[in-house]
Amino acid sequence: MPTRLGSAEFTRRYALPDWRILLRSIETSFVAPSFSAGAAFIEEVARLADAADHHPDVDLRYPGRVHVLLTSHDVNGLTDRDAALAADISERAAASGLVVEPSASTRLEVAIDALDVDAVRPFWIAVLAYEEEPGFAAGEPVDAIRDPAGRGPAFWFQPMDAPRPQRNRIHLDVAVPHDAVEARIAAALAAGGTLVSDADARAFWVLADPEGNEACLCTWQDRD
């Protein structure tokens, strides 16, 4: 298994001007002259990744922006493999005439304050169809969850030492396929949540975690 490198050590070892460190990954964006050119570049990235046996997350958006994220999933952080593949990808992008925009990257995390993290976390895993963030040592508290598909923002839970008087500290709207919402509601209730209101179902159902933070599970139905 490769050795995980902290951000400072990774920066000392490698000069990667096209890339930026965000959390436990390096990321960048390349701008292609067209959507098809962006897709062709992704094929080049795939070939490099297969050759290195190390695979990034890649996203193509109109009109031709390619976002690339590299991290070593087996150690939940950065390693020498990420630096090597990043250098190869940058070289290929330059040869293809793509414009690099490293500062365009950003990462979103959502923090939820909680008096009892272990009581609240299962509700949000169920509502969002997330999983616990890996990489915690045995016996350490789990305070973060993630989208297993890698699309949604990470969530983490900040312990509070006293209640607050607000009605609730966060409210999220979660859009889901109409044929998945019943199962998602059932999972949330089984995880300790409560159904606050189904008055507007099937457009949305309002649920709450054990501390009153709310989420609406929304579908396209009954909105027109």
Residue that the structure tokens 């920066």 belong to? 11
CATH for 7-104, options being 3.30.413.10, 3.40.1440.60, 3.30.1360.20, 3.20.20.220: 3.30.1360.20
> Which tokens go with 49?
């990744």
Query: 103: Cβ–Cβ under 8 A, 6 or more apart, which residues?
Result: 20
Q: Calculate ∠ Cα 139-140-144, nearest 5°.
A: 135
What are the residue ranges of CATH 3.10.180.10 in the chain? 109-218
| Averaged pLDDT score across all residues of the chain | 90
Q: Tell me, what's the pLDDT at 112?
A: 87
Task: CATH number for 109-218: choose from 1.10.3720.10, 3.40.309.10, 3.10.180.10, 3.40.50.300.
Answer: 3.10.180.10
Among all chains, which residue has been given the structure tokens 């966060």?
170
Strands 214-218 and 171-175: parallel
pLDDT the model gives residue 170: 76
Task: Kindly report, as residue ranges, where domains of CATH 3.30.1360.20 are found in the chain.
Answer: 7-104
Question: 158-209, pLDDT tens digit by residue?
Answer: 887 777 666 556 788 888 888 889 999 999 999 999 999 999 999 999 999 9
- What DSSP line would sit under 36-64, residue for residue? HHHHHHHHHHHHHHHHHT---EEEEETTT
Q: Is the pLDDT of residue 103 over 80?
A: yes
User: pLDDT exceeding 70 applies to what percent of the chain?
Assistant: 94
Checking if the pLDDT of 150 tops 90, the result is no
Residue 109 pLDDT: 84
H runs (alpha helix) in 57-180: 80-95, 117-128
In terms of pLDDT, which residue wins out, 68 or 150? 68
User: In which band, very low, low, confident or very high, does the pLDDT at 139 lie, cut at 50, 70 and 90?
Assistant: low
Quote the percentage of the chain above a pLDDT of 90. 66
The count of other CB atoms within 10 Å of the CB of residue 112 is: 20
Token representation of residue 59:
């996203």
- Encode pLDDT of 21-62 as tens digits: 988 899 999 999 999 999 999 999 999 999 999 999 999 999
pLDDT for 138 beyond 60: no
Q: How far is Cα 78 from Cα 74, in angstroms, rounded to an integer?
A: 10
Q: Please tell me the pTM assigned to this model.
A: 0.79
Give CA separation, 69 vs 58, 83, 222, 224, in Å. 6, 12, 38, 38
Distance CA 72, CA 100 (A): 22
pLDDT value, residue 165:
65
